[in-house]
Amino acid sequence: MAEHLPGGWLPPQAPGAPPPPEPEPPPKAPIFVRGPAETGTNGLAIAAIVCGVSSIGLLLLSLGLSFPFSLPLGITGWICAVRARIEVRPSQRKAGLVLAISAVALSGLAAAVWIVLIASGFSVEELQQNLENELERQRRADG
């Protein structure tokens, strides 16, 4: 077998020797094919994201007391995410679905906690008064 020298040259061959072997062709580079282009927007997926974020935002801003509004909003987001087209921007659909399911779970948890607290005699007005008193106490201690 003929050895290749640097630069791709072959050593000289004796007369009548078999011809040198053909060099191996370079390996073919892999061909990357793009998937279908994501064109347009997925309106239902965007609606699901908006509903999920709004629902969670309402819960956080109201300390869970807005569960009568955030629960239907989260369910609406979940329905929108399920009905969104998978072919157009699937990441938006997935984000909307995760946010909506989280919103429904958190709203359900907030509803259960507040129902138990109110049933056990907890007063929202009393909580507000206690928080105001604590804030006033801290202000007097600082100044």
What's the rounded Cα separation, in Å, for the pair 124 and 114? 10
Distance of CA 91 to the CA centre of its chain: 7
pLDDT digits (tens, 9 = 90+) for 24-73: 777 787 777 766 655 667 889 999 999 999 999 999 998 888 989 999 99
Residues 117-132, mean pLDDT to the nearest whole number: 86
pLDDT on residue 103: 94
pLDDT on residue 21: 72
Q: Name the more confident of 15 and 99.
A: 99
CA distances from 66 to 18, 35, 70, 105, 129 (A): 89, 43, 6, 14, 19
Say what percent of the chain tops pLDDT 90. Answer: 43
CB atoms within 10 A of CB 49: 23
**Does this model's pTM top 0.85?**
no
